[in-house]
Amino acid sequence: MSLTQDVANKVASLTYHELPPHIRHKAKLLVLDHVGCMIAGSASRGAKQMTPCLGRIDSGGASTVFGTSLRFHPANAAHANAHSASMLSLDDSYILFGHPGASIIPAALAVAEEVDSSGKEVIAAIVGGYEMSLRLGTAMRPSEERDCQVKGYATWQIFGACTAASLLYRFTAAQIADAYGLTPMHAPLPFLRKFHSRPMSLLKNNYGWANKGAITAVDLVRVGFHGNRTIFDGDDGFWVMAGSDRFEPQNMLDRWGERYFILETGFKPYGVCRWIHTAVDCVRALLSRHRFGRADIKSIHVETVSEFVRDFNGPWPQSTVEAAFHIPYALALELHDKSSTIGLREDDLADKSLHETTSLISLSTLAGADEKFYAKKLLPARVSVTLENGKTVSAEAEIPTGAPGGPAFGPAEVEAKFLTLTSPIIGEANAVHLKEALLELESLSVRDALKPCAVA
């Protein structure tokens, strides 16, 4: 039997009742967190451009477009919602693998509304999506040299959305294998090595298209199309199509049902790139310990991974997307009590005092950081603040807040983040009701759970 069919068999056999309680709970928290990001992100400039664009090619459907009164076909709803979720840079994170939930949860919720899935079915489908996506990413992870040339997350994370949608349509293992075979035909190229040119694209990782492409592939299977059922197998398998130079197929099946990748996915407290979070943690720690203010600072020096020094600096950002990948900007926000905890604000880009503070911040490569980043999935950062009185204080971090093994960002923080993000869009009462419904998802249908998110 082919590797592709073996994986499809594992996915097809996944059920809610076999999932340990803590896995179910993590899935619900990730749904809560992501719905919050989708609703809040719907008010962003990028979402207000994308959603009407999709509306022009959609005549209406069963699936919610979060933060609006619109309903689209599942493929377009998932496209719009995933794009909205990425706009505030607050969606979940797996170190080195981007934001897996953005290519799973929008598709799962959009399809679930169409077929009126139970909450239990959605939880199982989402867990399956995380397992398939992150196992594939682990199996086809390129060498460091190749990664420096070719990089793309949505390229392969599209299989997370495909998996979730296939499970919700109750596909057989053979149908899942067909869907896997068709999915690469709808996957975006691995384009991220060109992402940091200016101006940066509001598409970011293009997770919206990953959701849409996956649901399109699944829809084709539903009407009778077949795909290549050996898509992951051999020297011409998907891994080489996606630009990797190596593939370890055992990683797609190893310890299935024992190791859950969903547990290794973290929550983001700050609305900037996850790779910047340890530097932000350091600044916040120094502010808490030493009680200095912006006027007390002579200079700040950040040592971190060489790739971050190269890509996360440079000219003053011209958009919130560029600001999300700018270390001096992220740190200046903390020093001006404008933290990115609720996302980045367009108005702050015109703040001259922020601009002045960023001029005090310099960057260089931290010894040993590159190896820790690539080999151990760590984000090493050391921040040294020199004060006007001549004193220098420093802090170091390797694991960001909200990541497994890092400073805690638990259920209470996730719930508070959700209410803060959603209340301005759907109202405080609806936000509270929606939070409670999503945390009790296993006892509801998805349609019922999402009723409080309606926008008049």
Nearest to 217 by CA among 189, 183, 176, 192: 183
Do 443 and 322 share a domain, yes or no? no
Q: Residue 314 CB: number of other CB atoms within 10 A?
A: 14
Rg (CA), the chain: 21
Model confidence, pTM: 0.96
Token readout for 382 is 């050391």
Q: Are strands 361-365 and 297-304 parallel, antiparallel or unpaired?
A: parallel
pLDDT tens, position by position, 363-411: 999 999 999 999 999 999 999 999 999 999 999 999 999 999 999 999 9
Asked whether the predicted pLDDT for residue 276 surpasses 60, the reply is yes
Task: Give me the CATH number covering residue 358.
Answer: 3.30.1330.120
CB 168 within 8 A of CB 122: yes
State the alpha helices, DSSP H only, in 13-118: 21-41, 45-55, 74-87, 105-115
Residue 283 pLDDT level (bands cut at 50, 70, 90): very high
Q: Distance between CA 242 and CA 406 in Å, rounded?
A: 31
Q: Distance between CA 99 and CA 153 in Å, rounded?
A: 8
pLDDT of residue 196: 85
Q: Distance between CA 174 and CA 178 in Å, rounded?
A: 6
- Collapsing DSSP to helix, strand or coil, 41 comes out as helix
Q: Would you put residue 94 in left (φ > 0), alpha (ψ -120 to 50) or beta?
A: beta
CA dihedral 206→210→212→218, nearest 10 degrees, is 170
Residue 256 pLDDT level (bands cut at 50, 70, 90): very high
Asked whether the predicted pLDDT for residue 230 surpasses 80, the reply is yes
The answer to whether residue 131 sits within a structural domain is yes
Q: How many helices (H) and strands (E) does the chain have?
A: 20, 6
pLDDT tens, position by position, 153-173: 999 999 999 999 999 999 999
Q: Distance between CA 101 and CA 277 in Å, rounded?
A: 18
Instruction: Indicate the helix (H) or strand (E) that contains 332.
Output: helix 327-335
Do 292 and 392 share a domain, yes or no? yes
Asked whether the predicted pLDDT for residue 58 surpasses 60, the reply is yes
Q: Distance between CA 121 and CA 442 in Å, rounded?
A: 8
Buried b or exposed e, range 32-43, using 16+ CB within 10 angstroms: bbbbbbbbbbbb
- Collapsing DSSP to helix, strand or coil, 386 comes out as strand
Do 233 and 110 share a domain, yes or no? yes
The answer to whether residue 407 sits within a structural domain is no
Average pLDDT over residues 222-246: 97
CA 402 to chain centre: 13
Overall domain count for the chain: 2
Do 161 and 49 share a domain, yes or no? yes
How does DSSP classify residue 232? Answer: T
Phi, psi (degrees; rounded to nearest 5) at 72? -125, 170
CA 132 to chain centre: 15
Average pLDDT, the chain: 96
Q: Distance between CA 264 and CA 427 in Å, rounded?
A: 32
Do 206 and 94 share a domain, yes or no? yes
Do 263 and 280 share a domain, yes or no? no
pLDDT of residue 159: 98
pLDDT of residue 456: 55
The answer to whether residue 402 sits within a structural domain is no
Residue 1 pLDDT level (bands cut at 50, 70, 90): confident
Do 218 and 318 share a domain, yes or no? no
Do 240 and 357 share a domain, yes or no? no
Task: Give me the CATH number covering residue 18.
Answer: 1.10.4100.10
Q: Distance between CA 364 and CA 308 in Å, rounded?
A: 9
Residue 53 pLDDT level (bands cut at 50, 70, 90): very high
Q: Distance between CA 345 and CA 331 in Å, rounded?
A: 15
pLDDT tens, position by position, 115-127: 999 999 999 999 9
CB 128 within 8 A of CB 163: yes
Asked whether the predicted pLDDT for residue 302 surpasses 60, the reply is yes
Q: How far is CA 3 from CA 158, 166, 248, 268, 450, in A?
A: 18, 18, 11, 34, 37
The answer to whether residue 218 sits within a structural domain is yes
Rounded to 5°, angle at Cα 64 from 62 and 67: 160
Q: Distance between CA 342 and CA 320 in Å, rounded?
A: 13
What is the percentage of the chain residues whose pLDDT exceeds 90? 96
Do 187 and 251 share a domain, yes or no? yes
Do 61 and 208 share a domain, yes or no? yes
**What domain range includes position 210?**
3-267+417-453
Do 247 and 279 share a domain, yes or no? no
The answer to whether residue 236 sits within a structural domain is yes
Nearest to 135 by CA among 20, 247, 14, 268: 247
Asked whether the predicted pLDDT for residue 93 surpasses 60, the reply is yes
Do 339 and 261 share a domain, yes or no? no
Q: Which residues contact residue 288 at a Cβ distance below 8 angstroms, ignoring those fewer than 6 apart?
A: none
